[in-house]
Amino acid sequence: MILGIIYSDIGTSPLYVLNGIWPASGELPSREDIIGGVSAIVWSLTLIPLIKYVFISLMFGTQEGEGGSYALYQGLFPPEDHDGNLDRTLTGDSYKVASRKGFTINERFRLPLLAWCLFGTSLTIADGVFTPAVSVTSAVGGIAVAKPSVTEQIIPISIVILLVLFIAQRFGTAHLAFLFAPISFVWFLLLASTGIYNITSHPGIFRAFDPSRAVMLFVRTGKYDMLAGVLLAVTGCEAIFANLGQFNALSIQASAAFHFYPSLVLAYLGQGARLIRDGETVLSNIFYTTIPGEHNGPLFWIVFVFAILATVIASQAMITATFSLVQQLINMKALPPLKMSHTSETIQGQVYISVVNWTLMIGCIVVVAAFSNLSNLTSAYGFAVATVMFSTTVLLAVQMRWVKHWPAMVAITYFVLWGFFDGLFWGASLKKVPIGAWVPLMIGVILMLFMSLWTWAKGLEDKFDGEKRTNLRHFIHSDVDELDESDEEEEVEEAETDADTKARHLQYYYVAKASGEKGEDVKRPLARLPTCAVFHKIARGQGAPHTFTGFVRQWPALPRVVIFLSVSVVPIARVPSEDRYAITKVRTVEGFYGVTAYLGFREEFDIRVGEIVDRICALELQLDPTQVNGAVEEIRAVALSTTHIAPHYHVVSKRVDAGRLSAPVNWVRTYLIEDIYRRLATMFPETGNWLFAEEIIRVGINATI
């Protein structure tokens, strides 16, 4: 599975790398140039995928580093592990995820790091457009070597394959995933074996292991932009990083050191050897023309078939990684809650997002059709990869210092060394902007601006939700003394038959006057309904949510069990079940509880009320063991009927004072919040992906933000 999921993208790079450095339409490079180019590829593979991602980034994978750039940012600025109290609480069992101690990064770096992270994340999504386009087109291009007459059909054939690939996404790939590993395993064996055979044609290619050959190539030729072609050899690094948390460290390192890395190195050495020996005869398509044997022979077609299968798997892995990344962004409230469906009941993280799937499909087809020149297509592809790599380097260096608390010199050394290599690649790919790299740059900027808008507006809405809360002590009052004599005599009579009933009837609750109302409180008792209500607190903060206060003022009654539920998405992939819920009991009103549910950024939004009720009962028994046949049984009984109540905010932009610029600033602010954000929030409600609600009541609330 590791070879199919993690290394499939980078494993298809030999299809197009050498022609990315020396296009078929260009001049034949000299022997020393070929050795220098292969040397640059070998050392790039060593420094970036092998050392940086497999060995260094892996140390951040199982905790802070799962999921790529955005998960690294969440590791730097994690959500707080505590929720504001509804009032004074009695704390029972703590089911919270351990918080990070000694975190000292300055808050003023939050916005710059967020913008940098969103840009890197946007380009990773753009990578999901270019990976299928480049890999599939490169694989299909091999048919022109054996059948030159079908050269004009390469683009249509590639588009058909991409159409089938994206249409199949809605059915899930769990039932085919078992084929990914063996196909990828055979593919890497084919790369290694053909590489070994080709090396025998010119053993002098082993001089490529001398890094000075790579340096002298650029000194001698002055062609710095050739690094953009070398960069293609390390495409897929972010796919490695995004999937580190799904496998154990030893298996990833072993498969890298003993399978994918040597296979790729041998493949590039073999291609370089054949290019030195055969020259012009193999330059047109270096990968396919260097396959041993005849161009129409059995080995050629075997390699061709596995190349198609390998590129489909690589495309599938990148599409799946894009789905997973979008799911993470949705959970972290950086994107609207797009509708998601889980395509596997046994494999976590297998999600399908219809909007993303069709958008990627259209993008891939447009890119393939527009970039008829494969060289320009790979140039555009490389720019996205280089920018994401540099973004990851910056975030990892920051994590080393402020999360891992390693010595500053370690973080600086890492940033200077790998930042230098990433900067070289990024500078070379930047020169390709006029001939195609502007496409991923445009996609990245648009996505970054949109995610920034959503993060900003959603933050304002959550801030409103958190600040406009009501303290239960100021909203609900209780009284146990002021009963008239007839009521008191009636209670005493009932007490002779049921002491518990007496205790409950002697204490009743009533609603305090709302702000601005005059006169004394009307002590109208609130009836207790034999049901359980879950009031969802969309944002973290103190006090009871608007939905609760509106509910009680409109219907003067209290459910027997009230759960104020907050959800905190933490910067780890999945939270163990024993750490999922933190329960507190509210002292103000009997039967009220504050619950914080912790979800990993790759988990589906599923809240199991049954588990919460079990934890509540355990807490009650811990506080009073005599309740085993009393309140606990009553809680379990009423929890069989549960209603979920969630807010829906109708947002309105408030006016801000910006001096002379107040008019244009407020116009732009109103347009962004009311015309864009509010419409999208209505189209994609917060409850869109909730899997747990048997019945959801959405309460409309006007919010001036």
Tens of pLDDT, residues 190-242:
999 999 999 999 999 999 999 999 999 999 999 888 898 899 899 877 767 66
Lowest mean pLDDT, pick from 75-89, 175-189, 209-223, 649-663 = 75-89
At 85 the pLDDT is: 44
Mean pLDDT over 552-560 rounds to 85
Find residue 509's DSSP bridge partners: 478
CB 71 within 8 A of CB 571: yes
Q: Over 60: is that where the pLDDT of 484 sits?
A: no
At 515 the pLDDT is: 54
At 117 the pLDDT is: 84
At 64 the pLDDT is: 39
DSSP designation for 561:
E
pLDDT confidence of 492, banded at 50, 70, 90? very low
At 218 the pLDDT is: 93
In a 3-state reduction of DSSP, which class is residue 101? coil
Lowest mean pLDDT, pick from 190-199, 394-403, 429-438, 598-607 = 598-607
**Amino acid at the residue 585:** K
Structure-token match 């109290």, residue found: 85
Q: Where are the alpha helices (DSSP H) in 54-153?
A: 69-76, 110-140, 143-146
CB 507 within 8 A of CB 478: yes
CB 306 within 8 A of CB 51: no
CB 449 within 8 A of CB 390: no
At 305 the pLDDT is: 94
At 247 the pLDDT is: 60
Q: Over 50: is that where the pLDDT of 29 sits?
A: yes
Q: Over 70: is that where the pLDDT of 277 sits?
A: yes
Mean pLDDT over 263-282 rounds to 95
Cα gap 259→264, rounded to integer Å: 9
Q: Over 90: is that where the pLDDT of 631 sits?
A: no
Mean pLDDT over 383-406 rounds to 87
CB 360 within 8 A of CB 166: yes
Tell which wins on pLDDT, 458 or 86.
Answer: 458
Lowest mean pLDDT, pick from 51-60, 125-134, 149-158, 472-481 = 472-481
Q: Residue 126's CB: how many other CB atoms inside 10 A?
A: 29
Mean pLDDT over 413-424 rounds to 94
pLDDT confidence of 266, banded at 50, 70, 90? very high
* For helices 154-167 and 298-331, angle between their N-to-C axes, nearest 10 degrees: 50
Mean pLDDT over 276-293 rounds to 93
Each domain of the chain, given as residue ranges in start order, spans 2-80+102-108+134-375, 468-704
Length of the chain measured in residues: 705
Question: Which tokens belong to 432?
Answer: 């390709």
What average pLDDT does the chain have?
Answer: 81
What b-and-e string marks burial along 422-450, b requiring 16 or more CB atoms within 10 Å of the CB? Answer: bebbbebbeebbeebbebbbebbeebbeb
Structure-token match 């205790």, residue found: 503
Q: In this predicted model, what pLDDT tens digit does every residue of 564-584 receive, in sequence order? A: 998 887 766 678 888 889 998
Question: Which tokens belong to 600?
Answer: 């990993």
Tell which wins on pLDDT, 556 or 190.
Answer: 190
At 641 the pLDDT is: 83
At 63 the pLDDT is: 47
CB 332 within 8 A of CB 23: no
- Contacts with 179 (C-beta within 8 Å, 6 or more apart), sequence order: 4
CB 34 within 8 A of CB 230: no
CB 236 within 8 A of CB 314: yes
DSSP designation for 174:
T
**Amino acid at the residue 472:** L
Cα gap 388→429, rounded to integer Å: 12
Tell which wins on pLDDT, 377 or 430.
Answer: 430
Find residue 563's DSSP bridge partners: 534, 593
At 476 the pLDDT is: 85
CB 114 within 8 A of CB 332: no
Lowest mean pLDDT, pick from 256-270, 408-422, 550-564, 661-675 = 550-564
pLDDT confidence of 100, banded at 50, 70, 90? very low
At 216 the pLDDT is: 95
Find residue 470's DSSP bridge partners: 544
At 688 the pLDDT is: 74
CB 296 within 8 A of CB 146: yes
Cα gap 201→275, rounded to integer Å: 10
CA-nearest of 84, 91, 90 to 470 is 84
At 176 the pLDDT is: 64
CB 290 within 8 A of CB 196: no
At 125 the pLDDT is: 86
Q: In this predicted model, what pLDDT tens digit does every residue of 31-44 receive, in sequence order? A: 999 999 999 999 99
Question: Which tokens belong to 423?
Answer: 């900067």
CA-nearest of 68, 113, 397, 377 to 237 is 68
CB 476 within 8 A of CB 589: yes
CA-nearest of 338, 264, 308, 372 to 136 is 308
How many angstroms separate the Cα of 261 from the Cα of each of 255, 258, 511? 8, 7, 69
By CB neighbour count within 10 A (0-12 exposed, 13-18 middle, 19+ buried), where does 226 fall? buried
At 187 the pLDDT is: 94
Cα gap 290→198, rounded to integer Å: 7
CA-nearest of 142, 67, 429 to 311 is 142
In a 3-state reduction of DSSP, which class is residue 585? strand
Lowest mean pLDDT, pick from 48-57, 194-203, 365-374, 561-570 = 365-374
At 563 the pLDDT is: 93
At 519 the pLDDT is: 54
pLDDT confidence of 1, banded at 50, 70, 90? low
Q: Over 60: is that where the pLDDT of 603 sits?
A: yes
Tell which wins on pLDDT, 429 or 602.
Answer: 429
Mean pLDDT over 526-531 rounds to 87
Tell which wins on pLDDT, 677 or 536.
Answer: 677
CA dihedral in degrees (44, 49, 54, 56; nearest 10)? 60
Lowest mean pLDDT, pick from 287-296, 526-535, 546-555 = 546-555
Tell which wins on pLDDT, 500 or 605.
Answer: 605
